[in-house]
């Protein structure tokens, strides 16, 4: 790695480098929701219980549980367990092997300390940057840190549970790009000022410190040792990096990381508060009668409530952790840096903020609960209104039906009268009006007997009754025919679910006059549907079938359903389906 050509970079500008620190150590610190269970899960993932010493880490998921082999692209992070307590902490060594741009050579090894209290410390010593191996410029170090921040997220992401990933997504949105606290420690500084305040020149030195620590940083000096802390991190130049100094710096980083998390956590709560306000507006629209708004708002309330519940869970992790961290910090001895770093005050401030967030979370939940009840009442009212309208409609329908029945009966009566009138008209036209001095029965009863006239009259009466009945039947039939023609076609559907030879099926359909073909693809299946003309189907000629619809699953070769459409009501359903099914059997389309 010391070959000059190896350690290059891709910086596009000539850098103005004024601060160089000797043998820098970097601590990247973040806080994530952890507890004993999460840590135990992490340790299990590391195979610790089997005593395994080296595990390749990957965030990949086994998506083919039934396949006995597994493929990967090759670039992974190697992790060694240095020390652990199953549900308290784990100390790891990671060798990161992630793809880099051409010409960039990185040997990235770091230690990772994960505590059940949620803090994760990625720590390393920089041995070389672009061929510099003693004093390294801040400009270059910040570029290393940008890389570390991203790579550390990738490494830890493969160790987290899905439960924790959900939390990260809720708070930061992006699982990789999240803020972290950086602590820098160097053994010496190349350009040393006797008084630390001389670094605050308003020019290059101060600007480089801002670049490293964020704006508004402040200094502290103890003899030869220099300390700076800012909004993004801290930097210490110390002759001897002893345990006390490390403890102060690392603990400042832990509280800063926790405060960072609380900042984002609070932002998320305020966002949820805004979303709830938005929901109230939609409820107002629903009150004004917008039924679409009523549907939307129910869904919105469910989503927001579920997110707030998760935020509430995160708050519990924060609450426990802040309490524990105060306890841990309190039990250890402090050095003279305690006053500068103010760790205890900051931890207490985090704790107060977390406790205060409880009020907002519970307020939001109560408000959402109220909104949910209000929306439920609105829905109920809406349902009642609909039910009333339905009852009214049903009543009207019944009235229409009754009127129809009465009309139908009246039509039947009219039919009879009409038939009678028609027959009388026919007779009047055929034989003219029959006039006798006495009526048919009068002449018989008057003793004139049953003569020729009576026979003729009787015959005419019988003929007219017979004709009347015939006309009534004819009228009925024509009425029924008109009714059938007014009705829509008749459909028969069969759910088949049998294995087919799809190639044969396609061949079968290819000789039909296909009117519609539809292909639906989803994640797992391809469903193909056809509709063809029944009158042009060589198998169905003369069978009075209008259309045939068929759909099959091309992925698992399953015939799903067939549907036959006919305008003739009196063909039995089995017969209709039989025409097609028997033909499919005969063509050996079904696989036995």
Partner 1 sequence: MSFEDKTPESSKVETFESLTRDQQLLLYTIDYLTKWMVSDEHFVRNEGDKVWIKELPLWAIMYYQITHGSYETYDYAPIPIQFFGRSSFTVNLSYEGVDDVEDLRELDVLEKIRLSTSQHGFVTAYRITEIGDKYLLKIPKDVIDEVEKLFFCESCQKRMHFYMNMGDNPSVLMDCPDCDESDVHLDFLESEDVSYVSKPYFLKISDMLKR
Counting contacts by CB under 8 A, is residue 330 touching partner 1?
A: no
Q: What residues from 21 to 40 belong to the interface with partner 1 (CB under 8 A)?
A: 25-27
Among 113, 135, 167, 468, binds partner 1 (CB under 8 A): 113
Closest CB 79 distance from partner 1, rounded Å: 11
* Contact indicator for 132, 275 with CB cutoff of 8 Å: no
Closest CB 205 distance from partner 1, rounded Å: 11
Q: What is the DSSP letter of 534?
A: S
Among 7, 29, 120, 257, binds partner 1 (CB under 8 A): 7
- Can you tell me the distance from the alpha carbon of 357 to that of 364, in angstroms, rounded to the nearest whole number? 11
Binding span for partner 1 by CB under 8 A among 51-59, 290-298, 323-331, 426-434: 323-331
- C-alpha dihedral sign at 199, 200, 202, 206: positive
Counting contacts by CB under 8 A, is residue 126 touching partner 1?
A: yes
Rounded to 5°, angle at Cα 522 from 521 and 526: 40
Nearest CA to 546 out of 576, 587, 575 is that of 576
- Can you tell me the distance from the alpha carbon of 214 to that of 232, in angstroms, rounded to the nearest whole number? 5
Q: Give the three-class secondary structure for 440.
A: helix
Among 188, 324, 338, 533, binds partner 1 (CB under 8 A): 324
Closest CB 395 distance from partner 1, rounded Å: 51
Where do the DSSP E strands lie in 424-557? 490-499, 514-521, 526-533, 545-553
- Contacts with partner 1: how many residues (CB under 8 A)? 87
Task: Give the distance from CA 129 to its chain's centroid.
Answer: 44
Instruction: Considering the complex, state which of residue 33 and residue 233 has its C-beta at the smaller distance from partner 1.
Output: 233
Residue 387 CB partners (closer than 8 Å, separation 6+): none
Closest CB 512 distance from partner 1, rounded Å: 48
Counting contacts by CB under 8 A, is residue 356 touching partner 1?
A: no
Closest CB 378 distance from partner 1, rounded Å: 28
* Contact indicator for 30, 102 with CB cutoff of 8 Å: no
Counting contacts by CB under 8 A, is residue 178 touching partner 1?
A: yes
**Residue 95 pairs with which residues in a beta bridge?**
78, 109
Instruction: Considering the complex, state which of residue 80 and residue 440 has its C-beta at the smaller distance from partner 1.
Output: 80
Among 22, 60, 179, 434, binds partner 1 (CB under 8 A): 179
Rg (CA), the chain: 45
Counting contacts by CB under 8 A, is residue 140 touching partner 1?
A: yes
Tokens linked to 241:
């990096």
Backbone angles phi, psi at 532, to 5 degrees: -130, 165
Among 37, 306, 332, 478, binds partner 1 (CB under 8 A): 332
Instruction: Considering the complex, state which of residue 330 and residue 451 has its C-beta at the smaller distance from partner 1.
Output: 330
Q: What residues from 232 to 251 belong to the interface with partner 1 (CB under 8 A)?
A: 232, 243, 246-247, 250
Count CB-CB contacts under 10 A for residue 131: 13
Among 149, 196, 548, 564, binds partner 1 (CB under 8 A): 149
Q: What residues from 82 to 101 belong to the interface with partner 1 (CB under 8 A)?
A: 82-83, 85, 88-89, 91, 93-94, 100-101
Counting contacts by CB under 8 A, is residue 217 touching partner 1?
A: no
Q: What is the DSSP letter of 56?
A: E
Instruction: Considering the complex, state which of residue 76 and residue 547 has its C-beta at the smaller distance from partner 1.
Output: 76
What is the residue whose two structure tokens read 């600007």? 207
Q: What residues from 266 to 295 belong to the interface with partner 1 (CB under 8 A)?
A: 266-267, 270-271, 274
Binding span for partner 1 by CB under 8 A among 188-196, 320-328, 400-408, 584-592: 320-328
- Can you tell me the distance from the alpha carbon of 79 to that of 96, in angstroms, rounded to the nearest whole number? 9
Binding span for partner 1 by CB under 8 A among 168-176, 189-197, 434-442, 497-505: 168-176
- Can you tell me the distance from the alpha carbon of 17 to that of 190, in angstroms, rounded to the nearest whole number? 11
Q: What residues from 50 to 79 belong to the interface with partner 1 (CB under 8 A)?
A: none
């Amino acid at each position: 790695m010391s070959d000059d050509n190896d350690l290059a970079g891709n910086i596009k500008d000539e850098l103005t480098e004024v601060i160089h620190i000797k043998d820098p150590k970097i601590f990247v610190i973040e806080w994530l929701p952890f507890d004993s269970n999460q840590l135990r899960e992490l340790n299990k993932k590391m195979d610790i219980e089997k005593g395994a010493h080296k595990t390749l880490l990957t965030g990949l998921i086994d998506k083919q549980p039934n396949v006995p082999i597994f493929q990967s692209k090759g670039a992974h992070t190697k992790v060694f367990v240095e020390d652990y307590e199953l549900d308290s902490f784990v100390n790891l060594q990671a060798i990161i092997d992630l793809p880099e741009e051409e010409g960039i050579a990185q040997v990235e090894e770091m230690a990772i300390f994960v505590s059940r209290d949620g803090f994760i410390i990625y720590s390393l010593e920089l041995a070389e940057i672009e061929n510099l191996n003693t004093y390294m410029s801040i400009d270059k170090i910040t570029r290393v840190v940008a890389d570390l921040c991203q790579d550390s997220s990738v490494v830890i992401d493969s160790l987290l549970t899905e439960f924790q990933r959900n939390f990260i997504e809720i708070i930061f949105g992006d699982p990789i790009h999240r803020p972290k606290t950086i602590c820098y420690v160097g053994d010496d500084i190349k350009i040393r000022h006797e008084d630390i305040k001389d670094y605050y020149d308003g020019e290059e030195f101060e600007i480089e410190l801002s670049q490293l620590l964020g704006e508004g940083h402040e200094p502290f000096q103890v003899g030869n040792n220099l300390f700076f802390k800012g909004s993004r991190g801290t930097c210490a130049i110390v002759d001897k990096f002893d345990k006390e100094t490390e403890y102060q710096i690392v603990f400042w980083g832990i509280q800063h990381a926790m405060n960072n998390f609380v900042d984002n956590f609070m932002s998320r709560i305020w966002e949820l508060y805004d979303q709830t306000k938005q929901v109230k507006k939609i409820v107002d629209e629903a009150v004004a009668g917008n039924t679409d708004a009523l549907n939307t708002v129910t869904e919105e309330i469910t989503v927001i409530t579920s997110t707030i519940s998760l935020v509430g869970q995160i708050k519990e992790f924060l609450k426990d952790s802040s309490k524990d961290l105060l306890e841990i910090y309190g039990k250890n001895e402090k050095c003279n840096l305690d006053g500068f770093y103010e760790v205890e005050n900051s931890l207490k401030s985090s704790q107060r903020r977390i406790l205060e967030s409880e009020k907002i979370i519970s307020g939001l939940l109560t408000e959402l609960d109220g909104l949910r009840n209000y929306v439920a009442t609105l829905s109920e009212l809406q349902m009642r209104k609909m039910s009333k309208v339905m009852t009214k409609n049903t009543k009207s329908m019944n009235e229409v039906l009754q009127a129809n029945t009465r009309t139908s009966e009246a039509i039947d009566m009219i039919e009879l009268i009409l038939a009678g009138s028609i027959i009388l008209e026919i007779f009047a036209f055929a034989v003219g009006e029959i006039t006798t001095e006495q009526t048919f029965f009068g002449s018989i009863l008057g003793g004139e007997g049953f003569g020729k006239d009576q026979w003729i009259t009787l015959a005419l009466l019988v003929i007219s009754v017979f004709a009347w009945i015939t006309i009534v039947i004819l009228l009925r039939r024509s009425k029924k025919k008109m009714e059938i023609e007014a009705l829509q076609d008749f459909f028969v559907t069969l759910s088949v679910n049998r294995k087919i030879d799809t190639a044969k099926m396609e061949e079968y359909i290819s000789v039909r006059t296909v009117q519609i073909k539809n292909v639906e693809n989803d994640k797992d299946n391809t469903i193909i549907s056809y509709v063809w003309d029944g009158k042009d189907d060589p198998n169905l000629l003369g069978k009075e079938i209008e259309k045939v619809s068929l759909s099959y699953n091309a992925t698992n070769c399953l015939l799903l359903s067939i549907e036959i459409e006919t305008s003739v009501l009196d063909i039995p359903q089995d017969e209709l389906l039989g025409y097609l099914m028997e033909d499919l059997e005969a063509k050996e389309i079904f696989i036995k």
